[in-house]
Amino acid sequence: MECIAALRLSATTPINGSSVSWSHRSSTAPPNLSFSTSSLSGDKIDFRTVPGSHQTKRTAFTISPKAVSDSRNSQTCLEPDTSRSVLGIILGGGAGTRLYPLTKKRAKPAVPLGANYRLIDIPVSNCLNSNISKIYVLTQFNSASLNRHLSRAYASNMGGYKKEGFVEVLAAQQSPENPNWFQGTADAVRQYLWLFEEHNILEFLVLAGDHLYRMDYERFILAHRETSADITVAAFPMDEKRATSFGLMKIDEEGRIIEFSEKPKGDQLKAMQVDTTILGLDEMKAKEMPFIASMGIYVVSKNVMLDLLSNKFPAANDFGSEVIPGATSIGMRVQAYLYEGYWEDIGTIEAFYNANLGITKKPVPDFSFYDRSSPIYTQPRYLPPSKMLDADVTDSVIGEGCVIKNCRIHHSVVGLRSCISEGAIIEDTLLMGADYYETEADRKFLAEKGSVSIGIGKNSHIKRAIIDKNARIGDDVKIINSDNVQEAAKETDGYFIKSGIVTIVKDALIPSGTLI
Is residue 59 predicted with pLDDT exceeding 90?
no
- What percentage of the chain has pLDDT greater than the value 70? 82
Backbone angles phi, psi at 461, to 5 degrees: -125, 120
Is residue 190 within 8 Å of 197, Cβ to Cβ? no
Q: What does the alpha-carbon distance between residue 106 and residue 311 come to, in Å, rounded to a whole number?
A: 35
Residue 142: what pLDDT? 82
Mean pLDDT of 376-396: 94
Rg (CA), the chain: 26
- CATH class held by domain 387-510: mainly beta
Among 55-64, 259-268, 316-325, 501-510, which is the least confidently predicted range? 55-64
Mean pLDDT of 398-419: 96
Amino acid at position 426, single letter: I
Is residue 281 predicted with pLDDT exceeding 60?
yes
- Please, which residues have CB within 8 angstroms of residue 413's CB and are 6 or more apart in sequence? 114, 115, 356, 357, 359, 360, 396, 397, 399, 429, 430, 431
Q: Which helix (H) or strand (E) holds 416?
A: none
Phi-psi region of 323 (alpha: psi -120 to 50; beta: other; left: phi over 0): alpha
Residue 61's CB: how many other CB atoms inside 10 A? Answer: 17
Residue 143: what pLDDT? 83
Mean pLDDT of 401-430: 97
Partners of 467 in beta bridges? 431, 504
The 10s digit of each residue's pLDDT in 299-337 is 999 999 999 999 999 989 889 889 999 999 999 999 999
Q: pLDDT band at 283, cuts 50/70/90?
A: confident
Is residue 27 predicted with pLDDT exceeding 50?
no
Q: What is the pTM of this model?
A: 0.82
Top-confidence residue, 246 or 356: 356
Q: What does the alpha-carbon distance between residue 12 and residue 360 come to, in Å, rounded to a whole number?
A: 49
The 10s digit of each residue's pLDDT in 131-175 is 999 999 998 888 888 989 998 998 765 655 455 789 988 888 766
How would DSSP label each residue in 255-321?
SBEEEEEES--THHHHHT---GGGGT--HHHHHH--EEEEEEEEEEEHHHHHHIIIII-TT---III
The 10s digit of each residue's pLDDT in 184-215 is 889 899 989 999 999 999 999 999 999 999 99
Is residue 113 predicted with pLDDT exceeding 90?
yes
Peptide bond into 179 cis (omega under 30): no
Mean pLDDT of 428-446: 94
Is residue 486 within 8 Å of 499, Cβ to Cβ? yes
Q: What does the alpha-carbon distance between residue 226 and residue 223 come to, in Å, rounded to a whole number?
A: 5
Among 40-54, 108-122, 203-217, 302-316, which is the least confidently predicted range? 40-54
Residue 125: what pLDDT? 95
Is residue 66 predicted with pLDDT exceeding 60?
no
Domain 82-360 bears CATH identifier 3.40.50.880: no
Q: What does the alpha-carbon distance between residue 218 and residue 197 come to, in Å, rounded to a whole number?
A: 21
Peptide bond into 109 cis (omega under 30): no
Is residue 39 predicted with pLDDT exceeding 50?
no
Mean pLDDT of 487-516: 95
Closest C-alpha among 90, 82, 214, 78 to residue 159: 82
Chain mean pLDDT for the chain: 84
Among 121-125, 180-184, 502-506, which is the least confidently predicted range? 180-184
Mean pLDDT of 226-251: 91
Query: Which residues of the chain form CATH 3.90.550.10?
Result: 82-360
Three-state secondary structure string covering 489-511: EEHHHCEEEECCEEEECCCCEEC
Query: Which residues of the chain form CATH 2.160.10.10?
Result: 387-510
Q: pLDDT band at 432, cuts 50/70/90?
A: very high
Residue 157: what pLDDT? 56
Is residue 287 predicted with pLDDT exceeding 60?
yes
